[in-house]
Chain A
Amino acid sequence: MSERAGFGEALAGWLLTGPAILAYLAMLLIPTLAVVVLAFTDFELGMPGFHWVGLDNFSELLTDHGMRTSVRNTALYVALVTPASILAGLGLALLIEAGSRGKVFFRAVFFLPVVSLMVAMATAWQYLLHPTIGPVNAWLALFGIAGPNWLGSSDWVLVSLGLIGVWENAGFNMVLVLAGLTAIPRELYAAAEVDGAAGPWARFRLVTWPLLGPTMLLVTTITTIRAIRTFDSIATLTQGGPNKASEMIVWTIYQEGFSYLRMGYAAALTVVFLVVVLAIMLVQTRLIEKRTHYS
């Protein structure tokens, strides 16, 4: 009897997971393994056959000047956008939680970029940042400042895209921090007050910040990965230009793989991208384990 029930349960389990597992293999696991295999070939779409080239694609990645620019730009962009949008998200969340009026309204306003079509919003930013007719430079001119060619000069383009990136990510980080804040028990603030932590800064340092640790770690990981993946604003506004000054890793994968059809080379770059993303997540997991160990 129980044998039969066990078999029936197992059968139901396989039938219910079967379709999902097949789709998982076809759309995710096999293609991901195929990318790794492709990275060791010179496969080009439309060319007959391919050859194994060992590590050639990877050594080309190391020597290719354009590739180095792309990686450096990605690193710079991440270094700019990640801390700024984490601080912005944290600041907005704390400001919203500090009082009772307008909570719902402001939360909605700051969240708006998350649900807005990035291609369309990038187009709006392009007008705002237009060097001659844009309102940003018109406003700067009121103070006698000649604004730069935000998206058109190679010195400013990463900063401008970074600005758009912070605008895009801050609201998302804010809701994650808000979720973390609501999980902090109210009694802890009362207890801290009894212990003499009177000011808002003392309460933040003694209660909020330590308990927000895991949330901030999560926010840092998410923001870093979102920044690395930046594609829409580049595809819409700069196409990697001017002079490759805004060339970033996912845009380069797109160009090499789907414009020049150099699939093998693009696959190698994809593998590098995957390894970077996995490394970031590994660091996060390690840090979480360490925290739970020592605290």
Chain B
Amino acid sequence: MRAAPRLVLLSLLAVLVLLPYVWMISVSLKPRSEVFQATLSLIPKDFAAVQNYGRVLREIPIGRYLLNGVFVCGSILAFQLAFAIPAGYALAKLRFRGRGVMFAMILLGLLVPAHVPAIPLYIAAANAGLLNTYTALIAPFTISVFGIFLFRQFFRAMPDELLQAGRVDGMNEASVMLRVALPNAWPAATAFAIFSVVAHWSDLFWPLIVINEGALYTPALGVLWFRAEEAGDDYGALMAAAVLVTAPLVAAFLLAQRRFIEGMTMSGMKG
């Protein structure tokens, strides 16, 4: 294809995709009077950023929501790695009775969407008095079958001689895994981390079920609540809140584009 038509077409499509972002930012800067004019002008005549962002920062603990999000996503990831790396390593490199059954179970687990176990998990959390706790937000996702699968595939491709050298040096299996296999597993770990954080930062279904206490809101719950209960028709403040919760992950993506795209492409297998 010739260069000019391709660039024109791509630019038009890019404008379409960016439309909600552009308007979100524009409205977050506009005063009320301008928000309510059906106008196509993006630049506010009077800047109202201070009022809009000020209202969000004054009225809702948006920093708290973001920290909750970071804490929940970080904890989920830490548990997932702690479970998935040893399991993936053992399934790839060790021979033991039950390995085949375990791997079949992992493959079966890949087929089950996260919504399926939600009802029994909710009943269990309610009976254990764990609703409205960080535990409820984190525990169901501590295990990632996709993570186990990914690390198993990755470790399988690792040459045995590398590990054998460690064993000859008298290391036990856990040290071989931690000191020899793990340092070589960073590409898989990064890809998995990105996949996991993107999924759980945006998750709404499960937090909506187990949390109804403001102090524990994740960013998604915080915006949902602000939109439904507080903002009313104050679109300026609402868009300011939307900008503030969208920005962190988008900024991380822009800083590490290639890694994000690789990570999410790898996760395509899971669907």
Interface residues of A (CB under 8 A from B): 6, 8-17, 19-21, 23-24, 27-32, 34-35, 38, 45, 92, 95-96, 98-99, 101-102, 104, 106-121, 123-125, 127-128, 132-135, 137-139, 141-142, 167, 170-172, 175-176, 178-179, 200, 218-219, 221-222, 225-226, 229, 231-232, 235-236, 250, 253-254, 257-258, 263, 266-267, 270, 273-274, 277-278, 281
Contacts and interface: CB of A to CB of B under 8 A. Distances in A.
Give the 8 A-B residue pairs with the shortest CB-CB distance, closest first: A13-B96, A31-B117, A12-B173, A20-B87, A120-B242, A10-B96, A34-B120, A222-B271
Contacts of A257: 118-119, 122
Chain A interface mostly: helix
A124 B208 contact: no
Chain B interface mostly: helix
A23 B246 contact: no
A196 to B, nearest CB: 20
B121 A31 contact: yes
The CB with the most chain A CB atoms within 10 A, among B9, B223, B241, is that of B223
A101 B7 contact: yes
Contacts of B265: 175-176, 178-179
The CB with the most chain A CB atoms within 10 A, among B27, B96, B97, B243, is that of B96
The CB with the most chain B CB atoms within 10 A, among A19, A101, A218, is that of A19
Nearest to B210: A258
A102 B220 contact: no
Size category, B interface: 35 or more
Interface in B57-113: 79, 82-84, 86-87, 89-91, 94-99, 102, 105-106, 109, 111-113
A13 B177 CA distance: 11
Contact of B220 (A95, A119, A200): A119
A95 B6 contact: yes
Contacts of B204: 118-119, 231-232, 235-236
22 contacts: A11-B96, A16-B173, A21-B87, A27-B140, A27-B141, A29-B109, A31-B117, A32-B116, A34-B120, A38-B119, A99-B7, A108-B257, A112-B250, A115-B198, A115-B260, A116-B249, A124-B20, A175-B265, A176-B268, A218-B269, A232-B220, A235-B205
Contacts of B124: 31
A173 B1 CA distance: 22
Contacts of A200: 1
Interface string B1-40: 1010011011001100111110110010000000111111
B208 A120 contact: no
A96 to B, nearest CB: 7
B172 A263 contact: no
Contact of A127 (B115, B119, B235): B235
Contact of B202 (A16, A108, A118, A250): A118
B227 interface: yes
A21 B245 contact: no
Contacts of B79: 23
B162 interface: no
The CB with the most chain A CB atoms within 10 A, among B109, B173, B260, B271, is that of B271
B239 interface: yes
